[in-house]
Amino acid sequence: MDLSLSDLGDGLSSESQSEEETCQDKELVAAIMKRRAPPPLITTAVWERYYFADCEIKIKESTEFYGAVVWPSALVLCHFLETNQDKYNLADKNLIEIGAGTGLVSIVTSILGARVLSTDMPEVLGNLRYNLTRNTRGRCRHEPVVKELTWGVDLEEKFPRSSTHFHYIMAADVVYSHPFLEELLATFDHLCEDNTVIFWTMRFRFDKENKFVDRFQTLFDLELIYDLPSMKIKLYKAMRRKVGTETNRVE
């Protein structure tokens, strides 16, 4: 098959673009992973140490619950929020984190000035509250609040739309192989107003994640902020889709 100069040029351009994207991915991942420091060799507690917003953050983990460890998606979200404060200023903004787990995202957003409501299942709230108290006391203008939130359950009773208003919703690695994806979508839908901004990081593991992204886009406009193939993580920004507008599908 004969190739024209333009065909060769397109091929070289695609290859060059791919190499550039790979390099950018590696550089960004390296910057993100530098935020985590190894714990001391001798310690009586299971904890991890991170650096965000000019603060050392110590997180106590638990191997008893899936949500009680720090997943890489949380680091990606925290890095983005800290390095984009000029565009997304969290100071004095009402913010809720769903599936907060160990609380790293809630801690960082509190330090960045937000009024944070940190939520998760009842069994992880004790460890979540401990980490928030330990890492935000004396560092924040607004003390973060911890509250139980079981996705899809008693949403109007616990978070009445008439009095619950959030500028931002944060979610890190809340989509995985669990049977509550419809309840999670209902929770996003209930908490999100027309002007609420959702930041959502997600590690792609199975086809179920892709299907959730499709379902999510029936209600929300989605914008891809970061794509980190080496971590299999994507960071999305979302807002409620305006009635009557067409959806530009994001993978």
- Beta-carbon contacts of residue 249 (< 8 Å; ≥ 6 apart): 214, 217
Candidates 53, 49, 100; CA nearest to 73 is 100
Phi, psi of 34 (to 5 degrees): -65, -20
| pLDDT tens series, the chain, 251 aa | 444 444 434 544 545 556 767 787 889 999 998 999 876 666 666 678 999 999 999 999 876 655 678 889 999 999 999 999 999 999 999 999 999 999 999 999 999 999 999 999 999 999 999 999 999 999 999 999 999 999 999 999 999 999 999 999 999 999 876 778 999 999 999 999 999 999 999 988 766 667 888 899 999 999 999 999 999 999 999 999 887 666 566 76
Burial (0-12, 13-18, 19+ Cβ within 10 Å), 204: middle
Q: Are 124 and 150 in contact (CB under 8 A)?
A: no
Q: Are 132 and 160 in contact (CB under 8 A)?
A: no
DSSP 8-class letter at 19? H
Please give the distance of CA 121 from its chain centroid, rounded to a whole number: 17
Report the first-to-last Cα separation within the chain, whole angstroms.
33
In whole angstroms, give the CA distance from residue 60 to residue 185. Answer: 29
Candidates 107, 108, 191; CA nearest to 149 is 191
